[in-house]
């Protein structure tokens, strides 16, 4: 249980992270309560993306990179050697800053993960594709274009398609790395609205550079600086009465 009384879905325990000899994270301890949205904020290069990628071992792909410490998903350490990384990434999905749909149809983008996971029945797949597109709040807009190329969609639509793609395999946690930073305010708002609905069934962790976005969408906020977790807590508290001056300087834009 977290201090707020909500079960902890995911947590980092004594996490250190190295790119070769460069240490990017220092003894990070942080809990992510279930069905809540947690925002990770901090200046560029402070380690937000690195930390986010630790949460589904996306950093494994980087040569020379290594993590120390524990990441507990439902209480189990995913840094354990025996962890099935493919199944881990199905449970902990990810959406990136730049929408990266496959150069295939809208439908195939979402269906792909389902097929990889062994779903074969056409009707089942098509139901799941529709459901995922609906959850990502994009179905109505593109239902007539399901078999057109995903690359013909607008940036905001592509990003929501990527969210639908991540949702299709029913992840328990969704990691979002600045998902709206390349989008206009309307597309951004659509994504923020859908996040609000998604958290009924998902634990969401979002990296954002936009303080207002963090304040709008998240329940909890964690502030990183130079690879260290400086302050974390309820978003409302962080933005109305942060405990530390560093946090205050950053969120009020006095930093730098």
Ligand X SMILES: Nc1ncnc2c1ncn2[C@@H]1O[C@H](COP(=O)(O)OP(=O)(O)O)[C@@H](O)[C@H]1O
Nearest distance in Å: CB 149, Mg ion: 28
Residue 105 binds Mg ion, judged by CB under 5 A: no
Q: Which of residues 14 and 45 has its CB atom nearest to ligand X in the complex?
A: 45
The conformation of residue 225, written as its DSSP 8-state character, comes to E
Binding site for another protein (CB under 8 A): 211-212, 215, 225, 239-242, 246-256
Under rule CB under 6 A, how many of the chain's residues touch ligand X? 12
For residues 200 and 218, what is the distance between their CA atoms, to the nearest angstrom?
13
Q: Of 19-27, 128-136, 138-146, 193-201, which segment contacts ligand X by CB under 6 A?
A: 19-27
- Got the DSSP string for 21-81? TEEEEEEEEEEEETT-EEEEE-STTSSHHHHHHHTTTGGGGSTTEEEEEEEEETTEETTST
Distances (CA, A) of 167 to 105, 160, 208: 17, 10, 20
Cβ proximity to another protein: between 136 and 230 the closer is 230
Site string (53-82) toward ligand X, x via CB under 6 A: ---------x--------------------
Residue 239 interacts with which of Mg ion, ligand X, another protein, none, CB < 5 to 8 Å by class: another protein
Q: What's the Cα-to-Cα distance from 47 to each of 29, 53, 76, 235, rounded to whole Å?
A: 14, 10, 23, 20
Given the rule CB under 6 A, which residues bind ligand X?
A: 19, 22, 24, 42, 44-50, 62
């Amino acid at each position: 249980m977290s201090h707020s009384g909500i079960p902890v879905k995911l947590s980092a325990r004594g996490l250190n992270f190295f790119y070769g000899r460069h240490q990017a994270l220092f003894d990070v301890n942080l809990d992510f309560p279930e069905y809540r949205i947690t925002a990770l904020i901090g200046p560029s290069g402070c380690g937000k993306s690195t930390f986010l990628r630790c949460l589904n071992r996306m950093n494994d792909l980087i040569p020379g990179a290594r993590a120390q410490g524990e990441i507990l998903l439902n209480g189990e350490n995913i840094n354990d050697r025996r962890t099935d990384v493919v199944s881990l990434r199905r449970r902990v999905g990810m959406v990136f800053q730049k929408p990266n749909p496959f150069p295939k149809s809208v439908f195939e983008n979402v269906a792909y993960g389902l097929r990889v996971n062994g779903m074969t029945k056409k009707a089942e797949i098509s139901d799941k594709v529709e459901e995922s597109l609906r959850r990502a709040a994009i179905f109505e807009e593109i239902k007539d274009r399901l078999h057109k190329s995903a690359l013909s969609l607008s940036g905001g639509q592509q990003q929501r398609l990527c969210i639908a793609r991540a949702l299709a395999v029913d992840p328990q946690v969704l990691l979002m790395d600045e998902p709206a930073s390349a989008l206009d305010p309307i597309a951004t708002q659509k994504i923020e609205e859908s996040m609000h609905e998604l958290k009924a069934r998902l634990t969401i962790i979002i990296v954002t550079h936009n303080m207002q976005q963090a304040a709008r969408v998240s329940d909890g906020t964690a502030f990183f600086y130079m690879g260290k977790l400086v302050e974390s807590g309820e978003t409302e508290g962080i933005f109305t009465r942060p405990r530390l001056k560093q946090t205050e300087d950053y969120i009020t834009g006095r930093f730098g």
